Amino acid sequence: MIREIISPYYGTRARRHTLVAIAAQGAFFAALLAVLFYLRWAAEAWPHPFHFASLIMVFGLTMFAMSSSVTLEISVRAAQLPDPVPAIRWMAISAVTWLTFLFLEVVEWVRLVFLERLDWSTSFGATYLSLTVTHWLFALGCVCWIIYVANDIKKRDVVAVALFCHFLNLVWIVLLFSLYLSSATLDGI
């Protein structure tokens, strides 16, 4: 029963390689999060640089990331149809939503680095930038992979890229709670 449910997710070589990459990147993110939790526990004072407007930006980022997962799932279903055009369109929408996410993340970094004076020299700055820059780079790789798969959708594995996209969204949700919401303040609303 369970084997029948999960077998489509490791049924091809590309999917198995994707699962291995997800496991390695998951361990990497877990190590970075462990460093974050340790530094936060050891710090005398932890900054709260995320205000109401910043949280709205973060929730916007979350919506774009989740939209990408949804559009990739629709693309997986559409790729099974004889006409590849709908699947390619949904993959293009997914790539655009990830690109919007990447742009908004850069806007957030600019605000934090130049307005809040966040840099690598503080415990919070180093862990925040390490986690978000790493996630940003993996999301950029996901966009490139989406475009690569969309160029020949009948021969390339759409499910593998969707698995990676879902993993990135899971990591983003963990970052949302462990990094953004835990370091937020609603003063001055």
Within 13 Å, how many C-alpha atoms sit on residue 182's CB side?
15
Lookup result for tokens 């879902």: 166
For residues 157 and 14, the answer to whether their CB atoms sit within 8 Å is yes
- Would you state the pLDDT for residue 114? 82
Q: How far apart are the first and last CA of the chain?
A: 51
Q: Please, is 20 exposed, middle or buried when counting C-beta atoms within 10 Å of its C-beta (0-12, 13-18, 19+)?
A: exposed
Rounded Cα gap, residues 155 and 109, in angstroms: 38
Indicate yes or no: pTM above 0.85.
yes
CATH number, position 158: 1.20.120.80
Residue numbers of the domain that contains 142: 2-183
Per-residue pLDDT reduced to its tens digit, 108-139? 888 888 877 777 778 888 888 899 999 999 99
- Structural domain includes residue 95: yes
- Would you state the pLDDT for residue 47? 80
- Would you state the pLDDT for residue 11? 66
- Structural domain includes residue 189: no
